[in-house]
């Protein structure tokens, strides 16, 4: 029945139009706006499910393609489609948005309709970013999603929200404008803005290096990679819970996705040439940021740094492939590295989202994010404590949770490239466990620290619902990652074949 | 020997004649209207502009161009599009300014008559195909503007601005005229086509004299456009003028100035393109840098928009520098959409004014989203568009200019331009921050007049920025046609 539907467009535009509807519904009847928002997000998720069930995982070709000419003057097209890389990320997006809307149900009282609308519109833009196959369409979605996030952090954020949101917007914008120039340059060479035409565009090494650097700035800020990560802790700390969840679970992934969709296939030779740079930045993120996370006093900041460290794994996985391809053993482990990076992205989406929601649950009750203000939470909130410990274990990479799968694949692949890279990457197993579990120890266990903690009430049904859903997702992906790995397999293989051929 | 007088074909100039006749009518009718019936003058003025738009549509050539008055008047696709844009923007200006004029006791017919004469001047500039006619149109526009600025005679700041504008404007006109006269001396003609042909023949013998003359023309143009270092007047005049006049100065005349640049540099002096593109490059870079950087420090919203105009002029110049049809078309697209965008920005600002209160500081916008989310959203769209954030039209305007610049292999120029636009983003974001995140400064919360017509038209104006951002071909097609 779905065969003739423009399914992808529906998944992109339903939340955007739904968001506008919620905006007009207004705040006179806040529960009405909330209900519309929930329905819209559920419908979007329902629409995105066929993207998985109808997905043909035998081919690397784009599926659900829609291609219409849009701006003839510059040959810009409305060109969308998905493959094994983008499809899981789209499902993650539509899934997490439901969680965010449920989590904001009672917490957000100030201008609830605008809050809900911002997230719905952002959802549409993010799905658009993942499915755009025209560079300008991609850029438009890529930039447009900043606007709702800017407003979410600025209006519903914490005390220092304005500094944080301006920093967030400016950082991301400065990264992306250079990418825009690179895109226009490639257009002037190829006469088309279709991303696949860029993939096959011949570029000499200087051009490739410059284009690669332009992309690097754009995506490194988004991921974020050390040393351009400094906006993230600020943005996370000040953002409302929903903002942090979407930021960590989806927006960071767009940087990783950009590397796979743009940097690697468009500039393979420059990527191979400069892989040392990315690997160094990634390992710094894993090791140094891991230590930084250890000393944080603010729970959200700690999780933000942990996100940076985990995303370091993603970029490490993406760029270690060049070392693997060069090594004596050949290309055997290269696919493992890319797939590991992808699995890590999806898994981190669930886990970081869950961790931020857990902090949100505490913050709603005590209005503090400081670790020192808690202690002995398990005594008053046993169910919550169980969830926190579970997600913390997943964050630390416990086998059986999704956090383990991606990290394990990347470390395994790194051994084929170099022992020392793998060794440094593996320190995360210790560091990650240290900073996460130490936080859990201080917050959850021990004696009841103060009256606030003593007065805590355990999870209500709504909170239990969204944490339980996420726990199931983390567990399912950890025990049986095959469905995820299978859908991306042909795409990853094709990408590897593509980057193995020099373009010069 | 008797030369028979052949009357010129008047049809191409029909819109101008309609404007002139109707404006005189407005002038006379207004004399006999009591103050409470002033609305009729407004209505008549708007119908004048609508009639002019219709007349442009009626005489528009289906392709190519028609010229008249011995070649000194031309009606081509460029003229058609720009004239319609000018008239439409002026209509918006008249509608938005009504309540402001009422509140400041300057709701008089002169505002409209002067505005209409200025529009007539712009239409003449747009169609002029002789140096002399360009100058005549320009002076008609400028003289009307001087009077409009000084129009609120009780305001010291406005009188000062008018004086400043008059002195500096006269000087710029003088420079332009001087340049034109040297060209006349070299080529022996004022007709733009003839000048162009003569320059092609003379470029070998007289390069220095031509470059000398060109310098004066470019300076005159740069002044009218407000390009650095000839921008000094802009912030002062924007700030000092009554907001209703700033609204006018900040919108429609930009379109006319663009037309003048195209007529003089591209139609007339294309033989000297190598020279003027270098001059414009320097002007564009300076405008981008200075406009964006100084704007960051502004607290007055009108001054902020003035510096933002300067930086946008830099972008428009980039399109002209590219020197290709797509470059000119993108500059034209940029100019028109900029005029529409800045109509929204000033339109919202003007609605914040009330009796005895002149809203002009950025802090006056504080908490606008709480008191009036509709206007806050409209201004936010305008700000995002000026910053060039998709999906607003400002993004597409910048994209097309950058594309034209990259096409001629001046990638460094594109990189400089985008980096400065990041600085620009900062102050546009600050405006949005003030509206959305700050609490109102004073007890008296922002009261916005609830004029339904303005609310709707301003809304349509602002939403058109998104519509054009998503479907830029609606306008871009005509811009490309103008330079086909």
SS3 B389: coil
Q: What is the pLDDT of residue A374?
A: 84
B416-437 tens-digit pLDDT: 998 888 888 888 988 888 888 8
Q: Provide the pLDDT for residue B448.
A: 65
Structure tokens, B296: 């960051």
Q: What is the mean pLDDT of residues B401-410?
A: 89
CA distance A153 to chain B (A): 10
Q: Which one of A147, A166, A185 has the shortest CB-CB distance to B406?
A: A185
Say if B402 is an interface residue toward chain A (CB within 8 Å).
yes
Phi and psi, residue A224, nearest 5°: -90, 150
Q: Are A464 and A341 in contact (CB under 8 A)?
A: no
Average pLDDT over residues B234-263: 92
Report whether pLDDT(B1) > 60: no
Q: What is the pLDDT along chain A (504 residues), one digit of tens a residue?
A: 556 778 888 888 999 998 888 888 777 777 788 888 889 899 999 988 888 888 888 888 888 888 888 888 788 888 888 888 888 899 999 999 998 888 888 777 778 888 888 899 999 999 999 999 999 899 989 988 888 888 888 888 878 888 888 888 888 888 888 898 899 888 888 888 888 888 888 888 888 899 999 999 999 988 888 888 888 888 888 888 888 899 888 988 999 999 999 988 888 888 888 888 999 999 998 889 989 988 888 888 899 999 898 888 889 888 888 888 877 666 667 888 888 888 889 999 899 999 999 988 888 888 888 888 888 888 888 888 899 899 998 988 888 888 888 888 888 888 888 888 888 888 888 888 898 888 888 888 888 878 887 888 888 888 888 889 889 988 888 888 888 888 888 888 888 888 888 877
Of A71, A161, A170, the CB nearest to B472: A71
Instruction: Using only the alpha carbons of chain B, give its radius of gyration.
Output: 22
Q: Output the CA–CA distances (angstroms, integers) from residue B310 to A33, B74, B450, in the order listed.
A: 43, 29, 33
Write down the mean pLDDT value for chain B: 89
Mean pLDDT of B125-151: 92
Q: Measured between alpha carbons, how far is residue B346 from residues A210, A233, B69, B159, B250 in Å? A: 41, 37, 38, 21, 8
Whether B406 and A162 lie within 8 Å, measured CB to CB: no
Q: Kindly determine whether residue B406 and residue A184, on different chains, have CB atoms separated by under 8 Å.
A: yes
pLDDT at A330: 64
The pLDDT value given to residue A33: 82
User: Residue B391 above 80 pLDDT?
Assistant: yes
Q: Is A20 on the interface with B (CB under 8 A)?
A: no
Whole-Å CA distances, B421 to A28, B229, B296, B435 = 39, 19, 12, 21
What distance in Å separates residue B412's CA from the closest CA in chain A?
10
Which of A181, A187, A243 is the best mutation test for B, with the most CBs of B within 10 A? A181
What pLDDT, on a 0 to 100 scale, did the predictor assign at position A503? 75
CA B418, CA B428: separation in Å to the nearest integer?
A: 15
Q: Is the pLDDT confidence value at B222 over 80?
A: yes
Judged by a CB distance cut-off of 8 A, whether residue A169 touches chain B is: yes
Give the SS3 label for residue B388.
Answer: coil
pLDDT digits (tens, 9 = 90+) for B32-64: 988 888 889 999 999 999 999 999 999 888 878
User: Residues of chain B with pLDDT > 70: what percent?
Assistant: 98
- Check whether B377 has a pLDDT greater than 60: yes
Whole-angstrom Cα distance, residue B120 to residue B142?
11
Q: Is any Cβ of chain A less than 8 angstroms from the Cβ of B374?
A: no
CB contact under 8 A, B400 and A73: yes
What is the b/e burial string over A251-285, where b = at least 16 CB atoms within 10 angstroms of the residue's CB? bbbbbbbbbbbbbbbbbbbbbbebbeebbebbbbb
Q: Cβ–Cβ of B425/A169 closer than 8 Å?
A: yes
Residue B67 to residues A333, B61, B191, B325: CA-CA distances in angstroms? 72, 10, 12, 21
Alpha helices for B129-206 (secondary structure H): 131-149, 156-187, 192-202
- The string of pLDDT tens digits covering residues B326-355 is 899 999 999 999 999 999 999 998 888 877
SS3 content of chain B, % helix, strand, coil (to 5): 75, 5, 20
pLDDT score of B447 more than 70: no
pLDDT band at B261; cut points 50, 70, 90: very high
Q: Which pair of structure tokens corresponds to residue B188? A: 């022996």
pLDDT at A416: 83
Confidence of residue B365 (pLDDT cuts 50, 70, 90): confident
Distance (Å) of CA A133 to CA A139, A171, A333, A437: 10, 25, 28, 42
Is A140 part of the contact surface with chain B (CB cutoff 8 Å)? yes
SS3 B215: helix
Cis before B350 (ω within 30): no
Residue A133, C-beta contacts closer than 8 angstroms, at least 6 positions apart = A62, A65, A67, A79, A80, A81, A194, A195, A196
pLDDT at B445 over 80: no
Sign of the Cα torsion A239, A244, A246, A250 reads positive
B481, B84 Cβ separation under 8 angstroms: no
The conformation of residue A311, written as its DSSP 8-state character, comes to: H
For residue B452 the two structure tokens come to 């339904």
pLDDT value of residue B443: 53
Scan for tokens 């629409």, then name that residue.
A47
Nearest Cα of chain A lies from the Cα of B309 at a distance, in angstroms, of 21
B185, two tokens:
């001396």
Sign of the four-CA dihedral A161, A166, A169, A172: negative
- Distance CA(A424)–CA(B209), nearest Å, equals 70
The phi and psi torsions of B159 (rounded to 5 degrees) equal -65, -40
CA B281 to CA B273: how far, in whole Å?
12
Task: For residue A210, give the chain B residue with the closest CA.
Answer: B411
Spatial CB neighbours of A70, under 8 Å, sequence gap ≥ 6: A76, A77, A78, A134, A137
Structure tokens at A237: 């700390």
| Token representation of residue B238 | 């924007």
Q: Do B421 and A174 touch (CB under 8 A)?
A: no
């Amino acid at each position: 029945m779905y065969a003739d539907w423009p399914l992808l467009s529906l998944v992109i535009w339903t939340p955007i139009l739904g968001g506008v509807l919620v905006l007009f519904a207004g705040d006179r009847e806040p529960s009405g706006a909330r209900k519309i928002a929930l329905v819209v997000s559920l419908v979007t998720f329902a629409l995105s499910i066929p993207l998985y069930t109808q997905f043909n995982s035998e081919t690397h070709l784009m599926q659900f393609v829609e291609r219409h000419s849009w701006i003839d003057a510059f040959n810009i097209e409305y060109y969308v489609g998905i493959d094994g890389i983008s499809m899981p990320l789209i499902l993650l997006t539509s899934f997490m948005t439901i969680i965010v809307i449920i989590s904001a149900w009672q917490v957000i009282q100030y201008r609830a309709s605008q809050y809900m609308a911002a997230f719905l519109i952002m959802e549409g833009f993010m799905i658009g970013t993942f499915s755009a196959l025209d560079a300008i369409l991609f850029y438009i979605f890529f930039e447009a999603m900043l606007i709702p996030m800017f407003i979410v952090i600025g209006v519903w954020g914490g005390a220092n929200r304005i500094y944080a949101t301006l920093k967030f917007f400016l950082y991301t914008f400065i990264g992306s404008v250079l990418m825009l120039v690179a895109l226009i340059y490639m257009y002037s060479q190829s006469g088309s803005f279709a991303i696949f035409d860029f993939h096959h565009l011949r570029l000499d090494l200087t051009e490739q290096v410059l284009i690669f650097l332009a992309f690097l700035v754009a995506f490194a800020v988004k991921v974020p990679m050390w040393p351009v990560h400094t906006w993230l802790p600020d943005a996370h700390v000040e953002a409302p819970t929903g903002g942090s969840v979407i930021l960590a679970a989806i927006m960071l992934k767009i940087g990783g996705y950009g590397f796979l969709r743009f940097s690697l296939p468009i500039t393979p030779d420059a990527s191979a040439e400069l892989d040392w740079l990315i690997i160094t930045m990634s390992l710094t993120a894993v090791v140094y940021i891991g230590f930084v996370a250890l000393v944080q006093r603010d729970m959200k900041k700690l999780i933000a740094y942990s996100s940076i460290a985990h995303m370091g794994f993603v970029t490490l996985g993406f760029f270690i492939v060049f070392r693997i391809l060069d090594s004596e053993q050949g290309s055997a482990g290269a696919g493992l590295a890319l797939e590991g990076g992808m699995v890590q992205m999806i898994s981190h989406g669930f886990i970081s989202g869950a961790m931020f929601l857990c902090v949100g649950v505490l913050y709603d009750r005590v209005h503090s994010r400081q670790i020192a203000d808690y202690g002995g939470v398990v005594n008053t909130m046993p169910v919550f404590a169980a969830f926190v410990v579970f997600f913390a274990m997943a964050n630390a990479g416990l086998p059986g949770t999704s956090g383990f799968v991606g990290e394990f694949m990347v470390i395994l692949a790194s051994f084929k490239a170099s022992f020392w890279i793998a060794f440094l990457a593996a320190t995360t197993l210790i560091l990650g466990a240290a900073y996460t579990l130490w936080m859990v120890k201080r917050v959850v266990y021990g004696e009841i620290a103060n009256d606030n903690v003593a007065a805590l009430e355990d999870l209500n049904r709504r909170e239990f619902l969204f944490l339980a859903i996420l726990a199931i997702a983390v567990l399912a992906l950890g025990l049986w990652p095959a469905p995820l790995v299978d859908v991306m397999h042909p795409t990853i293989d094709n990408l590897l074949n593509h980057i193995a051929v020099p373009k010069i | 020997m008797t030369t028979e007088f052949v009357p010129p074909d008047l049809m191409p100039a029909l819109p101008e004649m309609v404007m002139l006749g109707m404006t005189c009518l407005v002038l006379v009718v207004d004399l006999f209207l009591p103050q409470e019936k002033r609305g009729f003058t407004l209505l008549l003025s708007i119908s004048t502009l609508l009639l002019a738009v219709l007349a442009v549509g009626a005489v528009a050539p289906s392709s190519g161009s028609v010229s008249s008055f011995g070649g000194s008047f031309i009606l081509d696709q460029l003229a058609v599009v720009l004239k319609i844009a000018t008239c439409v923007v002026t209509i918006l200006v008249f509608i938005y300014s009504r309540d402001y004029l009422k509140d400041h006791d300057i709701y008089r017919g002169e505002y409209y008559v002067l505005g209409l004469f200025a529009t007539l001047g712009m239409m003449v500039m747009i169609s002029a195909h002789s140096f002399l006619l360009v100058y005549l149109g320009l002076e008609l526009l400028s003289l009307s503007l001087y009077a409009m600025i000084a129009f609120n005679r009780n305001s010291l700041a406005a009188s000062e601005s008018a004086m400043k504008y008059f002195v500096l404007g006269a000087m710029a006109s003088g420079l332009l005229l001087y340049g034109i006269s040297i060209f006349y001396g070299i080529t022996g003609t004022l007709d733009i086509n003839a000048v162009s042909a003569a320059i092609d023949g003379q470029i070998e013998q007289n390069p220095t004299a031509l470059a000398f003359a060109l310098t004066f023309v470019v300076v005159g143009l740069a002044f009218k456009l407000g390009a650095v270092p000839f921008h000094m007047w802009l912030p002062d005049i924007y700030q000092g003028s009554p907001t209703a006049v700033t609204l006018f100065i900040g919108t429609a005349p930009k379109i006319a100035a663009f037309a003048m640049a195209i007529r003089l540099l591209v139609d007339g002096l294309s033989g000297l393109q190598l020279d003027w593109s270098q001059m414009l490059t320097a002007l564009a870079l300076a405008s981008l840098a200075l406009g964006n950087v100084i704007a960051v420090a502004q607290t007055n919203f009108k001054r902020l928009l003035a510096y933002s105009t300067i930086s946008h002029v830099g972008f428009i110049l980039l399109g002209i520098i590219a020197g290709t049809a797509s470059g000119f078309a993108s500059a034209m697209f940029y100019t028109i959409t900029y005029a529409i965008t800045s109509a929204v920005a000033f339109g919202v600002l003007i609605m914040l004014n009330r009796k005895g209160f002149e809203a002009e500081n950025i802090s006056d916008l504080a908490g606008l989203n709480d008191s009036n989310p509709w206007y806050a959203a409209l201004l936010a769209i305008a700000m995002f568009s000026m910053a060039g954030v998709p999906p607003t039209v400002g993004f597409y305007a910048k994209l097309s200019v950058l594309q034209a610049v990259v096409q001629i292999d001046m990638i460094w120029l594109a990189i400089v331009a985008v980096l400065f636009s990041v600085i620009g983003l900062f102050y546009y974001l600050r405006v949005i921050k003030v509206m959305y995140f700050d609490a109102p400064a004073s007890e008296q919360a922002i009261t916005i007049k609830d004029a339904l017509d303005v609310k709707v038209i301003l809304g349509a104006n602002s939403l058109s920025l998104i519509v054009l951002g998503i479907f830029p071909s609606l306008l871009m097609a005509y811009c490309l046609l103008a330079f086909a």
